[in-house]
Structure 1
Amino acid sequence: MTKQMFAVMASGLALMAATPALAQQGGSTVTAATTQGPILSFSVSEEVRSRPDQATVGAGVTTTAPTAVEAMRQNAAAMDKLIAAAKARGIKTEDIQTSGINLSPQYDYNNQTPGQPPRFLGYQVSNSVRATTPKIEDIGPLLDALVAAGGTNIEGPWFGMKDADAQLVGARGTAIKEAEAKAADYARLAGFRGVELVSISEGGSFASPPPPMPPMVRLQAMDAKATPVEPGQVSNTLTLSFQYRLVR
Structure 2
Amino acid sequence: MTIAKLALPVAAFIISACTAAPAVHAHEEQAFMRTITVSGEGRAAAAPDMAVISIGVQNEGKTASEALRANSDAMRATIKKLKDLDVADKDIQTSGLSVNPRYDYQKNRSNPPIVGYTASNTVTVRLRDLDDAGAVIDQAVQSGANNLGGISFTFAEPKPLYEKARKDAVKDAKAKAELLTDAAGVKLGRLVTIQDGYAQAPSPRPMMARMEASADSSVPIAAGESVVTATVNMVYEIE
- The TM-score with structure 1 as length reference comes to 0.78
Secondary structure of 2:212 counterpart: coil
Aligned match of 2:78: 82
Alignment check: 8 A CA contact 2:57 2:122 kept: yes
Structure 2 distance, partners of 1:67, 1:15, is 84
Residues 1:243 and 1:73: Cα distance change in structure 2 (over 3 Å): same
Aligned match of 1:176: 170
Matches within 5 A, 1:51-62: 51-62=47-58
Alignment check: 8 A CA contact 2:41 2:232 kept: yes
Aligned residue among 65, 68, 73 for 2:69: 73
Aligned match of 1:151: 145
Secondary structure of 1:146 counterpart: helix
Structure 1 distance, partners of 2:210, 2:58, is 10
Q: Deviations over 1:190-233 (max 9, x none)?
A: 3334321111111234234559x99x931012232111100111
Letter in 2 for 1:235: V
Aligned residue among 46, 49, 52 for 1:50: 46
Matches within 5 A, 1:73-152: 73-110=69-106, 112=107, 118-152=112-146
Determine if the alignment matches structure 1 residue 162 to structure 2 residue 156: yes
| Residue 81 (structure 1) shift | 0.6
Aligned match of 1:242: 234
**Structure 1 or 2: more helix by fraction:** 2
| Residue 74 (structure 1) shift | 2.0
Q: Structure 1, unaligned stretches of length 5 or more? A: 1-9, 24-30
Q: Structure 2, unaligned stretches of length 5 or more? A: 1-14
Determine if the alignment matches structure 1 residue 230 to structure 2 residue 226: no
Alignment check: 8 A CA contact 1:159 1:207 kept: no
Aligned match of 2:32: 35
Letter in 1 for 2:68: M
Structure 1 distance, partners of 2:109, 2:116, is 21
| Residue 79 (structure 1) shift | 1.1
Aligned residue among 174, 179, 189 for 1:185: 179
Percent of paired sites with the same residue: 30
Report the number of matched residues: 224
Q: Deviations over 1:224-248 (max 9, x none)?
A: 211110011111112121111111x
Residues 1:128 and 1:190: Cα distance change in structure 2 (over 3 Å): same
| Residue 77 (structure 1) shift | 1.5
Residues 1:241 and 1:144: Cα distance change in structure 2 (over 3 Å): same
| Residue 160 (structure 1) shift | 1.4
Letter in 1 for 2:174: E
What is the RMSD computed on CA atoms of the aligned residues?
Answer: 3.0
Structure 1 distance, partners of 2:41, 2:114, is 56
Structure 2 distance, partners of 1:114, 1:187, is 67
Aligned match of 2:59: 63
